[in-house]
């Protein structure tokens, strides 16, 4: 049932429709064990054929698969079966949308990270440059104190201490994919709170 070996594009390869409908009805009635049945039928195929090709970092792809079935549980009451069409295609759309969200968040986080690292670093120099450097350091620390402490910690580790993404994720007790999302949100929060006069174009 739900053979996972080939490409899951033909309805003949899906679970028998009547049996699937029974499982969906159980899930809509609150039987959470029914979600395990759907996962057993379609989880591996979604991972290999839908998520992983679009998000090649395996840990992020695994996070997306978990999120997909979490969203299935949250939204199952709104699902309305279509005539002769498997729920697989509804779950597949959730998986694709979640994959796109994570990919975009990761891409934006990397761009912001690169932009922050590209900011000029002031060398030790007298008078005005020292004052500018000290003011920049003060502004950074003040901004970090304003934002969510978890975001501030992510920025300190990744950008100020130059620790690896893997090390940062382990320190925060999250997966690598979740750390990328935290870092993306941290960069947005930092830029929103950083003094405007410090980031204006010359």
- Over residues 142-161, the pLDDT tens digits come to 888 889 999 989 988 888 78
Q: Model pTM? A: 0.53
Give the model's confidence band at 4: pLDDT under 50 very low, under 70 low, under 90 confident, else very high.
Answer: very low
pLDDT tens by residue, 50-106: 999 988 788 889 999 999 999 999 999 999 988 788 999 999 999 999 998 888 877
Q: Does the domain at residues 119-199 carry the CATH identifier 1.10.10.10?
A: yes
pLDDT of residue 13: 60
Closest CA to 172 of 162, 183, 161: 183
pLDDT, mean of residues 155-172: 86
Residues of the chain with CATH 1.10.1740.10: 11-104
In angstroms, the CA 198 to CA 142 distance is 13
Q: Return the pLDDT at 106.
A: 72
Percent of the chain scoring above 70 in pLDDT:
76
Helix/strand/coil percent split, the chain, to 5: 75, 0, 25
Q: 1.10.287.3510, 3.30.230.10, 1.10.1740.10, 1.20.1300.10: which CATH number matches 11-104?
A: 1.10.1740.10
């Amino acid at each position: 049932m739900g053979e996972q070996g080939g490409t899951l594009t033909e309805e003949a390869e899906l679970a028998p429709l009547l049996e699937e409908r029974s499982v969906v009805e159980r899930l809509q009635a609150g039987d959470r064990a029914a979600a395990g049945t759907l996962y057993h039928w379609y989880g591996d195929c979604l991972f290999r054929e839908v998520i992983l090709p679009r998000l090649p970092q395996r840990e992020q792809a695994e996070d997306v698969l978990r999120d997909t079935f979490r969203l299935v549980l949250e939204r199952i009451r709104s699902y309305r079966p279509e005539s002769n069409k498997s729920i697989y295609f509804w779950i597949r759309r959730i998986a694709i949308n979640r994959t796109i969200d994570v990919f975009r968040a990761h891409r934006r986080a990397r761009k912001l990270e690169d932009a922050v690292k590209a900011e000029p670093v002031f060398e030790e120099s007298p008078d005005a440059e020292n004052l500018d450097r000290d003011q920049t350091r003060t502004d950074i620390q003040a901004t970090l104190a304003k934002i969510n402490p978890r975001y501030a910690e992510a920025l300190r580790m990744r950008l100020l201490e130059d620790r690896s993404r893997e090390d940062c994720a382990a320190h925060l007790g999250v997966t690598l994919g979740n750390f990328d999302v935290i870092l993306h949100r941290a960069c947005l929060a930092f830029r929103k709170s950083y003094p405007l006069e410090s980031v204006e174009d010359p």
